[in-house]
Structure 1
Amino acid sequence: MSEIKKAEKIAGVKGMNDLLPDDSPLWELFENTVQSVLKSYGFQQVRTPIVEPTNLFARGLGEVTDVVEKEMYSFEDSMNGDKLTLRPEGTAGVVRSAIEHNLIYDGPRRLWYTGPMFRHEKPQRGRYRQFHQVGAEALGFTGPDIDAELIMMCQRFWDDLGLDNVRLELNSIGDAEERNQHKAALIAYFEQHQDILDAEAKRRLLTNPLRILDTKNPAMQEMVNAAPKLLDYLGAESLAHFEGVQKILRHNSIPFTINTRLVRGLDYYNRTVFEWVTDDLGSQGTVCAGGRYDALFGIFGGKPTPACGFAMGIERLLELMKAKGDVHQPAMCDVYLVHQGAEAQMQAMVLSERLRDAGLDVVLHCATANGVGSFKSQMKKADGSGAAYAVIIGEDEANNNTVSVKELRAGDAENNQVNVPFDTAVDYLVDQIAGSADGDCCDDPNHHHVHH
């Protein structure tokens, strides 16, 4: 008989990572924290598709941006020939949706989204091909107050997540006419310094000269620092708007630095731009970027609508949270049920459902290829689950209609075991867990308190 060939293992796509169970509590902590802050500012969630028409991004992001030129996952739908793209960012889809469903016909909207984005670039720390963002978009507001509110909301995220190593950089890129004047001055200036420009800068000089200001090339730094500043080309309205944002931030004690080299590669941005940056993630220092994009609705065929928003990279922020090292790892469950024998297993199944009805999280020990395992091996699992209590049902307990309740997190764990009648076990455990939750005021935001 010929030997059966072992199937080859299939690995995931490079740069697209699995979220494993050990990391999910940190993701939940992050998501719950951010959602509760967004809710406290009156933002409502919007969920747009992961796949959009390719021309949404080509038109919105501009044909000559790095994202559209080199980073988008685009394909033709083999069923009907539609040109489609996995979304590289969230704003374009939100604006498309707002126009399509006439979301702001009865006034401005505060919207937020979260989910995976896709860019084909070299995977490195904090930068992946499938990455996740949370973004907020305030649509229909004109004043500097909403720009400042978005920034203050970010500050609240960092405070609530315990991140104190993130700082704010701020700039204004004015309006289209002011940018065009600055761009002309910039091109003239860079042309005088052709000998210092590298190949990438020479290419950008013709397509997107503002991006030369982003250069990391040390040989160009001095020349770039002396380039004409956009702030010097701003008119009275743009300056007043920018001053308005700064005034509110100062009044609310939000520290910031003005970074005149902070620009956006995308044409639809105007006036306020901001970034939250850290020195703790190597070269991938930006964890959140935002600004005003009053032109985007018009570009997508909607009526002109002022808008402002930001997006933050979840993976990068989780890296920062991990680096702090004081992230509380929540328990898998409140109660772990240990049992031995057929009758005990039946009773354990009944009790586990009753405990869940009472609002507790319960893990019931189940058989594996090696069987159910000894009491000792089951207790080891109970301890590893992080549960506060193990409930033990053996033959004796099954025959006497009782359960043993062992407290797993007490100092003197050896003597912490009591026998309780089966029918009162639920009330007993609910009271014990509610009491300890009140006592330590449970720090874990993912943990629900028991309600009777």
Structure 2
Amino acid sequence: MAIQKPEGTEDLLPVDERFYRHFVDTAARVFGRYGYEPIETPLFEQTELFVRGIGESTDVVGKEMFTAISGNNLKTLLDGGKIRSKSRLSLRPEGTAGVVRAIAQHGLAPQGGAPAKLMYAGPMFRAERPQKGRLREFHQVGVECIGADAPSIDAEGIIMLMRFYEEIGLPRENMRLLINSMGDEACRPAYRESVRSYIMEHASDMCEDCQRRADINPLRAFDCKEEGCSAIMANAPKIPDALCDSCKSHYEQVKAYLDAAGIEYIEDPTLVRGLDYYTRTVFEIQVDIEGMGSQSAIGGGGRYDGLMKEVSGKEAPGFGFAIGYERCKIALEAAGVEVASQKQTDLFIACVDDSTRAAGFMLAQQCRDAGLAVEIDHQNRSLKSQFKLADKLGAAKVAVLGPDEAANRQVSLRDMATHEQQPVAFDELVSAVRA
């Protein structure tokens, strides 16, 4: 049997890759208006970064991380030896921890300076059970803002994300924005204890994961997908009732900014997101479109004021979000939005016979050097077949080059939309195609 792609991965074929590039470019354009600049971090980091940053109690760290290890280190482990912590590497399951590590390592958010606003895009890896909208290798676009704790940063990020979805073509009426506050270290410990006590009272009716979470991070039980657990947690104590005055004020200001911008939202007191580093504002964008099934969340994030300290030992507030590319593409297709990106071919040079192929080849190079996207036949097709190929490639114009045209250093240039045809000199071809 021929070798197949790994389970839980997808090949981005040319048409998919073109749309992915359009997706990323659109994000860069929209986020750039808000001051976000690009960054790229390694596909793998020290495992300790994710354990400390994301949280040991999360499914991501506990069950889903892929470990990367060299052959020599694998041999050492199999022989019963130990390897250095720096040699314990994992493929990144999300982008935030790596970006925060880079900001700390390179001093991109100096105390008292402007906040670091960065955008990333690329593949992430989680050892999940593959299903529609949930892959082992998936792609995310995200932003991180380090160095500002104002509620306006939270609101700005949420508004920016909604603007992106609108620009990429997702219908506003199909989206819903959920928001909540998870409090901070001043008010959350008491709330966590109340939730832990509630879980322990109902432990016999809850799954093993939620029983385990009761002592490690009881708030994660709100994110459990088991129906029985969800029903029980619906009656658990809610965080809005436990927020301190500072967190309440922050949350109210975020909502006031959203109201002023005309952004509709739903307050969901059970929204906790899936990672341990979040504090205060959390949000999630879901789509209500037939065909999405349980994978309705296409993006989300929030504030993580304690993550920088976990990663570097230095205090710095943070905010960010991530967009799931594959989920968003599914949502666009389910909403009937055309996501295929047409290959751009400005000109196809059709050679009538072998005597003109050398001239046609050199003419194609000259046009490409001038910035045009040009195709030419390499398989000795008939002129009729070359026109079919030009149409398939989406060529805007076709330059027909026969012996007579070559002798006069000109082509017959046909507009594929209007079918109008005119003689054009070699040295005027580029300007004629552009016109």
Residues 4-403 of structure 1 correspond to what in structure 2 (within 5 A)? 9-79=2-72, 81=83, 82-105=87-110, 106-164=113-171, 165-280=174-289, 281-323=292-334, 324-327=336-339, 329-367=341-379, 372-403=380-411
Classify 1:32/1:418 alpha carbon distance in 2 versus 1 (closer, same or farther; 3 Å).
Answer: same
Indicate the SS of the match to 1:23: helix
- Consecutive unaligned residues in structure 1, runs of 5 or more: 1-7, 432-452
- 1:448 corresponding residue in structure 2: none
The one-letter code sitting in structure 1 at the alignment partner of 2:405 is E
The one-letter code sitting in structure 2 at the alignment partner of 1:362 is V
> Aligned-pair distance for 1:286?
1.1
Q: Counterparts of 1:251 and 1:306 in 2: how far apart (Å)?
A: 24
Classify 1:9/1:236 alpha carbon distance in 2 versus 1 (closer, same or farther; 3 Å).
Answer: same
Q: Contact between 1:173 and 1:270, CA under 8 Å: does it hold in 2?
A: yes
Classify 1:315/1:222 alpha carbon distance in 2 versus 1 (closer, same or farther; 3 Å).
Answer: closer
Classify 1:187/1:131 alpha carbon distance in 2 versus 1 (closer, same or farther; 3 Å).
Answer: same
Q: Contact between 2:141 and 2:325, CA under 8 Å: does it hold in 1?
A: yes
The one-letter code sitting in structure 2 at the alignment partner of 1:228 is P
> Aligned-pair distance for 1:195?
4.2
Q: Contact between 2:273 and 2:301, CA under 8 Å: does it hold in 1?
A: no
> Aligned-pair distance for 1:356?
2.3
- 2:432 corresponding residue in structure 1: 428
> Aligned-pair distance for 1:158?
1.1
After superposing on structure 2, the runs of 4+ consecutive aligned residues of structure 1 that deviate more than 6 Å are none
Classify 1:427/1:269 alpha carbon distance in 2 versus 1 (closer, same or farther; 3 Å).
Answer: closer
Classify 1:264/1:428 alpha carbon distance in 2 versus 1 (closer, same or farther; 3 Å).
Answer: closer
Output one character per residue of 1:78-127: Cα deviation in whole Å (capped at 9) or x when no partner. Answer: 35641111111111111111111111124321111111110011111111
Residues 409-420 of structure 1 correspond to what in structure 2 (within 5 A)? 409-410=417-418, 413=419, 416-420=420-424
CA RMSD between the two structures: 1.8
Q: Counterparts of 1:195 and 1:118 in 2: how far apart (Å)?
A: 34
Q: Counterparts of 2:104 and 2:312 in 1: how far apart (Å)?
A: 8
The one-letter code sitting in structure 2 at the alignment partner of 1:271 is R
Q: Report the more deviating stretch, 162-171 or 213-222.
A: 213-222
Q: Contact between 1:166 and 1:278, CA under 8 Å: does it hold in 2?
A: yes
Q: Counterparts of 1:331 and 1:170 in 2: how far apart (Å)?
A: 39
Q: Counterparts of 2:229 and 2:43 in 1: how far apart (Å)?
A: 39
TM-score by length of 1: 0.88
Q: Counterparts of 1:405 and 1:68 in 2: how far apart (Å)?
A: 60
Output one character per residue of 1:39-91: Cα deviation in whole Å (capped at 9) or x when no partner. Answer: 11111111111111111111112222111111011133335641111111111
Identity of aligned residues (%): 40
Indicate the SS of the match to 1:344: helix
Q: Counterparts of 1:53 and 1:222 in 2: how far apart (Å)?
A: 38
Q: Contact between 2:28 and 2:119, CA under 8 Å: does it hold in 1?
A: no
Q: Contact between 1:278 and 1:286, CA under 8 Å: does it hold in 2?
A: yes
Classify 1:221/1:421 alpha carbon distance in 2 versus 1 (closer, same or farther; 3 Å).
Answer: closer
- 1:440 corresponding residue in structure 2: none
Q: Counterparts of 1:270 and 1:217 in 2: how far apart (Å)?
A: 25
Q: Counterparts of 1:402 and 1:267 in 2: how far apart (Å)?
A: 67
Q: Contact between 2:57 and 2:213, CA under 8 Å: does it hold in 1?
A: no
Classify 1:417/1:265 alpha carbon distance in 2 versus 1 (closer, same or farther; 3 Å).
Answer: closer
Classify 1:217/1:246 alpha carbon distance in 2 versus 1 (closer, same or farther; 3 Å).
Answer: same
Classify 1:375/1:198 alpha carbon distance in 2 versus 1 (closer, same or farther; 3 Å).
Answer: same
Q: Contact between 1:333 and 1:386, CA under 8 Å: does it hold in 2?
A: yes
Indicate the SS of the match to 1:188: helix
- In the alignment of these two chains, the number of paired residues is 416
Indicate the SS of the match to 2:102: helix
The one-letter code sitting in structure 2 at the alignment partner of 1:131 is F
The one-letter code sitting in structure 2 at the alignment partner of 1:160 is E
Q: Contact between 2:170 and 2:337, CA under 8 Å: does it hold in 1?
A: no
